[in-house]
A and B are shown apart, each in its own frame.
Chain A
Amino acid sequence: DTEVTQTPKHLVMGMTNKKSLKCEQHMGHRAMYWYKQKAKKPPELMFVYSYEKLSINESVPSRFSPECPNSSLLNLHLHALQPEDSALYLCASSQEMWGSGANVLTFGAGSRLTVL
């Protein structure tokens, strides 16, 4: 299995809703990442988990809450989002966190979020 699987593919939520995005990989990768991407822009790093511990939080607002229940799963819990949070949310994984060789990131197809 060489894929990163993200669910759901599309999500529409109101500003008062609570929802979660899920990401799964079975490549034995020990680093997992959340990125946010606006249309035709580069991905922006949000969070990095290394060995199931949060290593990097790029000053993301607390309405986004990451969780890494085990080495294969990564969640992003969403609460009280704003319309400007509408974007494609990409999950990625790599063998190790940055600093170890080429450390190629494998990306999922993303979850497209619309906040009304």
Chain B
Amino acid sequence: GEDVEQSLFLSVREGDSSVINCTYTDSSSTYLYWYKQEPGAGLQLLTYIFSNMDMKQDQRLTVLLNKKDKHLSLRIADTQTGDSAIYFCADLNNQGGKLIFGQGTELSVKP
């Protein structure tokens, strides 16, 4: 079946850029998403990208998609302590149309 993989942890210093990576296996993906989950909260959509796009920028967030390598990344510029959370990559495939989540990357931002 489809699989979405992420590294589990990332630690950065406040003010640095963070890059969270995700790989997926489904070649029929239509949309890919990044969700953020703060402790004790639900999932908050950060951004999404259509599969025929290479890049999407939204303020401090930059999403890069390499469809050939099935690799998605989320770059957070000028990372702040409030960015500390778990970030989930998710893939909406075209067969059955379910949202497949990665395991989540726990981002820790140190002052």
Residues in A lying within 8 Å of B, measured CB to CB:
4, 6, 40-43, 45, 56, 90, 92, 97-99, 102-110, 112
Contacts and interface: CB of A to CB of B under 8 A. Distances in A.
Contacts of B106: 40
A105 B98 contact: no
Contacts of B103: 41-42
Contacts of B96: 98
Contacts of B50: 102
Interface of B: 31, 33, 35, 40-45, 48, 50, 86, 88, 92, 96-99, 101-104, 106
A43 B101 contact: yes
Chain A interface SS verdict (over half): loop
Contacts, number: 51
A36 to B, nearest CB: 12
A105 B42 contact: no
Given A40-B86, A42-B104, A102-B31, A90 B99 contact: no
Contact of B43 (A43, A56, A99, A112): A43
Contact of A107 (B31, B42, B104): B42
14 contacts: A4-B42, A40-B86, A40-B106, A41-B103, A42-B88, A42-B102, A42-B104, A43-B101, A45-B98, A90-B42, A105-B43, A107-B35, A109-B40, A110-B42
Contacts of A90: 42-43
A56 B96 CA distance: 10
A104 B45 contact: yes
Contacts of A107: 35, 42-44
Contacts of A110: 41-42
Contacts of B43: 43, 90, 92, 105, 107
B91 to A, nearest CB: 12
A73 to B, nearest CB: 18
Contact of B92 (A4, A41, A42, A98): A98
